[in-house]
């Protein structure tokens, strides 16, 4: 009985985190292959860190090398929260990333093979080309079958 109460508490805190992050640009898009899909363009690092910390499922994170390096440098223990991290664009951080793609389009072409449920698929972008990246991601999400 106590375990059930703990699960309810996690669901409540996740909902509160999503609601608070939503005011700053976090958008939920439904499910893709069993994963909850979110986009967050121009997230503040502190808010993004809080969101990652409080969501109880593992993540597949799609972002640029700069924001990924910033979060993982601040919170190296977050590596355990990720099923996979996929970055796009030139990596000038010196931070070694496992799945690097030349651009967002190349990454999106390979994304389906990385998706493994359950979990959360999070797209972020903080680069100067975030409007272009956002359009590419939203076009991709419109093409795939979200539930």
* Helix 2-22, helix 45-54: angle, nearest 10: 160
Nearest to 116 by CA among 54, 53, 32, 40: 32
pLDDT at site 24: 54
107-136 pLDDT, tens per residue? 999 999 889 889 999 999 887 778 899 999
Helix (H, G, I), strand (E, B) or coil at 137: helix
Structural domain boundaries of the chain?
2-143
94-113 pLDDT, tens per residue? 888 889 999 999 999 999 98
Nearest to 58 by CA among 33, 32, 77, 84: 84
C-alpha pair distances (Å), 64 with each of 1, 82, 97, 99, 146: 42, 15, 10, 11, 24
Q: Which CATH class is domain 2-143?
A: alpha beta
pLDDT at site 9: 40
pLDDT at site 145: 76
Using the predicted structure, report yes or no on whether residue 138 has a pLDDT greater than 70. Answer: yes
C-alpha pair distances (Å), 2 with each of 7, 24, 55: 9, 34, 20
53-97 pLDDT, tens per residue? 999 999 999 999 999 999 999 999 999 999 999 999 989 888 888
pLDDT at site 6: 38
Q: Which two tokens stand for residue 131?
A: 């409007």
C-alpha pair distances (Å), 6 with each of 53, 119, 120: 16, 18, 20
Using the predicted structure, report yes or no on whether residue 7 has a pLDDT greater than 60. Answer: no
């Amino acid at each position: 009985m106590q375990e059930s109460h703990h699960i309810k508490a996690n669901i409540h805190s996740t909902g509160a985190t999503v609601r608070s992050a939503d005011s700053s640009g976090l958008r939920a898009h439904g499910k893709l292959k069993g994963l909850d899909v979110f986009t967050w363009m121009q997230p503040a690092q502190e808010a993004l860190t809080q969101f990652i910390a409080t969501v109880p499922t593992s993540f597949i994170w799609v972002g640029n090398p700069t924001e990924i390096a910033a979060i993982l440098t601040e919170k190296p223990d977050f590596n355990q929260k990720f099923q996979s991290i996929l970055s796009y664009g030139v990596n000038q951080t010196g931070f070694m990333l496992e799945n690097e793609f030349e651009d967002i389009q190349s990454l999106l072409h390979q994304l389906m093979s990385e998706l493994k449920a359950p979990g959360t698929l999070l797209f972020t972008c903080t680069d100067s080309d975030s409007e272009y990246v956002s359009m590419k991601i939203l076009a991709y999400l419109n093409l795939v079958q979200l539930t």
